[in-house]
């Protein structure tokens, strides 16, 4: 389809001549997906019909206790301190944003009365502001009314650099103003095609001003509400043991009629993914298991018990290996892995090329993950219009050896390749996880055949993904040669996702290793392309920019994509959860119910 034909169709939807659903169906017939077509309309400011979520119960309560198992346990309940999914999901039980993302990539109102569009006056034609109308009649768990003051406060609270919030980048350059008691206006410094970041989804939960205002800035971590939340959500806190369990009860004053269905909620954390899978699929102790990254053969055997099922939600989460740009073993100005240093071996592109050739992505998918992995050469995989057609991957040990030989990396008496005084001997770290340790072993075996020695290091997930600035084994510090983990994309637009490779986001001592560029990669063209994408309203041109960004980071070789990871949940029979590939597991918890 030519660009002018696409624009004509978009205008017909805007004018009401073509139903939105018909437009999406036409796009799907051309090879697009529903989320992609929906986002095309959103970028053009075309009104979105209010997405509805199926829900059968006709009264609040009566559903007993909902039990969820997370094999990584939450340690606090402040959504804006949540650096990991486990804390984001736990916080989202109690705190709600103005809107969330369903699995089709639609915005669904939560504390908003409606989704802003250009047609209803919510989205400014110049792309510099968005006006949100707030839902009326909403109260906080302590009975105080929810108003625009809470929204304005939340933006200011998070933007304060002294508070060191994980979501600070979303709020530091915007202005949120009160229009009236239930209307706020968000103003951006520049035209912003993807405006649905602030106050939306995982980075958007609203906090009560009257509870958090006494703990602004540097005092923010002292607030008792960090573990005793006062939100607007469907459940109220009963008991929370950080690193272990969370119990909550139904909010009888919840602002959505007939919700929630369940009278109580229990979340158990800790353990491992296989045990969590067994607790749902085999023993039926829990209703739902989160992130069951378990070998597919094991999952199928557990499903055979007939008590539960696996469900996979394909977004753009990606498992990948990073080859450190910096030197993790020597200090520069008192800092390991300083951005001023360079890795002694991975600086050579030939070594990076060889490492990619030594990873059997298809074998890892087939032997270990099965339904839970899609081998890929791309870091950015979804929505499809952002997926690069320019990349390929190959597993070829002989070719890797040829590349190393040609670059002067010769085998020594110990069988390890070296050039000068630099050996191809690396520490390769990841979190403790059965599949990940098997993946490490597969890569190690191929590397050994090519004359590269890998020392495998496994770090307990709570430590590896923790935020303890004093711990040397966190993935944020990346004090090893190589590391492997999954990064998630929490909205159907890649702007926030791809920001993690910008120079401004390099993780280092100066920012307490809280920024997102953990590999410490820097590229001027990437930075310029990312900056341009932030103000590009043409969806075709903008997609091309993100494809270029993907190609730059992948082709440079410090980041090696392994496989896209559909989100794997174990679900007990008769439970009807509302899950999404683009938002947290608990984003629509009030809509969950159990069939009779």
> pLDDT band at residue 34, thresholds of 50, 70 and 90?
low
Confidence of residue 290 (pLDDT cuts 50, 70, 90): very high
The confidence band for 40, taking pLDDT boundaries of 50, 70 and 90, is: low
Least confident of 14-18, 101-105, 487-491, 553-557: 14-18
- Give me the mean pLDDT over the 165-184 stretch: 94
Give all domains of the chain, ordered by start, each with its CATH number: 3-43 (no CATH), 62-73+85-93+233-313+567-596 (3.40.190.10), 95-224 (3.90.76.10), 318-492+558-565 (3.10.105.10)
Q: Which residues pair with 70 in a beta bridge?
A: 269
Helix axes 273-281, 296-303, angle to 10 degrees: 20
Residue 4 has pLDDT above 80, yes or no: no
Q: In the 8-state DSSP scheme, what is residue 146?
A: P
> What's the pTM value of the predicted model, to 2 decimals?
0.80
Kindly provide the b/e burial profile for residues 376-393, where b requires at least 16 CB atoms within 10 angstroms of the residue's own CB: bbbbbbbbebbbbeebeb
Average pLDDT over the chain, rounded to an integer: 92
pLDDT score of 164 more than 90: no
> What's the pLDDT score for residue 46?
61
Which DSSP category does 114 fall into?
A: S
Do 295 and 368 contact (CB within 8 A), yes or no? yes
Which of the four pLDDT bands, split at 50, 70 and 90, describes residue 32? low
Measured CA to CA, the distance from residue 147 to residue 415 in angstroms comes to: 68
Which residue would you say has higher pLDDT here, 38 or 308?
308
| For residue 453, pLDDT beyond 70 | yes
User: In sequence order, what DSSP letters do the residues of 428-446 get, joined into one string?
Assistant: EEEES-HHHHHHHHHHHHH
From 114, 118, 116, 120, select the one nearest 134 (Cα to Cα). Answer: 114
- Which pLDDT value is given to residue 27? 74
353 close to 403: Cβ distance less than 8 angstroms = yes
397-406 and 434-449 helices, crossing angle to 10°: 50
């Amino acid at each position: 389809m030519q660009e002018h034909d696409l624009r004509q169709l978009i205008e017909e939807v805007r004018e009401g001549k073509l139903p939105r659903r018909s437009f999406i169906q036409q796009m799907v017939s051309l090879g697009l997906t529903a989320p992609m077509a929906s986002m095309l309309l959103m970028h053009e400011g075309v009104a979105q019909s209010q997405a509805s979520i199926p829900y059968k119960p006709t009264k609040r309560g009566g559903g007993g206790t909902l039990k969820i198992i997370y094999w990584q346990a939450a340690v606090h309940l402040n959504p804006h301190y949540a650096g990991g999914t486990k804390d984001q999901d736990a916080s989202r039980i109690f705190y709600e944003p103005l809107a969330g993302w369903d699995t089709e990539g639609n915005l669904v109102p939560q504390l908003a009365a409606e989704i802003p569009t250009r047609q209803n006056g919510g989205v400014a034609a110049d792309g510099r502001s968005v006006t949100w109308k707030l839902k009326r009649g909403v109260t906080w768990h302590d009975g105080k009314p929810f108003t625009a003051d809470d929204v304005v406060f939340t933006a200011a609270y998070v933007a304060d650099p002294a508070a060191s919030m994980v979501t600070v980048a979303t709020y530091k350059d915007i202005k949120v103003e009160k229009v009236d008691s239930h209307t706020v206006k968000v103003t951006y410094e520049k035209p912003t095609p993807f405006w649905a970041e602030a106050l939306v989804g995982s980075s958007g939960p609203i906090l009560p001003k009257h509870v958090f205002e006494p703990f602004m800035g540097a005092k923010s971590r002292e607030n008792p509400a960090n573990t005793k939340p006062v939100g607007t959500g469907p459940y109220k806190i009963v008991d929370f043991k950080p690193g272990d369990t969370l119990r909550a009860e139904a909010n009888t004053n919840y602002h959505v009629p007939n919700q929630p269905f369940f009278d109580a909620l229990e979340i158990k954390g800790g353990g491992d993914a296989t045990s969590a899978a067994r607790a749902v699929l085999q023993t039926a102790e829990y209703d739902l298991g989160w992130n069951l990254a378990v070998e597919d053969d094991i999952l199928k055997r557990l499903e055979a018990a007939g008590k539960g099922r696996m469900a996979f939600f394909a977004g753009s989460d990606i498992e990948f290996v990073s080859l450190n740009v910096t030197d993790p073993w020597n200090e520069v100005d008192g800092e390991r892995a300083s951005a001023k240093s360079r890795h002694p071996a991975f600086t050579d592109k030939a070594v990076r090329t060889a490492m990619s050739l030594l990873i059997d992505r298809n074998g890892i998918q087939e032997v270990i993950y099965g339904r839970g992995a899609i081998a890929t050469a791309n870091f950015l995989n979804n929505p499809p219009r952002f997926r690069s057609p320019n990349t390929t991957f190959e597993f070829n040990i002989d070719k890797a050896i040829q590349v190393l030989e040609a670059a002067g990396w010769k085998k020594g008496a110990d069988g390890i390749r070296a050039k000068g005084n630099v050996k191809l001997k690396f520490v390769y770290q990841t979190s403790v996880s059965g599949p990940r340790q098997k993946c490490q072993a597969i890569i190690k075996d191929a590397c050994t055949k090519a004359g590269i020695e890998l020392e495998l290091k496994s770090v307990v997930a709570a430590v590896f993904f923790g935020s303890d600035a004093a711990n040397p084994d966190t993935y944020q510090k990346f004090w090893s040669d190589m590391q492997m983990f999954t990064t998630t994309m929490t909205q159907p637009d890649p702007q926030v996702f791809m920001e993690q490779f910008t120079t401004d986001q390099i993780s280092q001592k100066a920012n307490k290793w809280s920024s997102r560029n953990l590999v410490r990669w820097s590229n001027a063209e990437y930075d310029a392309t990312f900056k341009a994408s932030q103000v590009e309203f043409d969806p075709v041109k903008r997609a091309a920019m993100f494809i270029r960004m993907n190609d730059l980071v992948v082709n440079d070789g410090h980041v090696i994509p392994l496989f896209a990871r559909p989100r794997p949940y174990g679900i007990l029979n008769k439970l009807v959860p509302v899950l999404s590939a683009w938002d947290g597991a608990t984003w629509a918890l009030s809509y969950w119910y159990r069939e009779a």
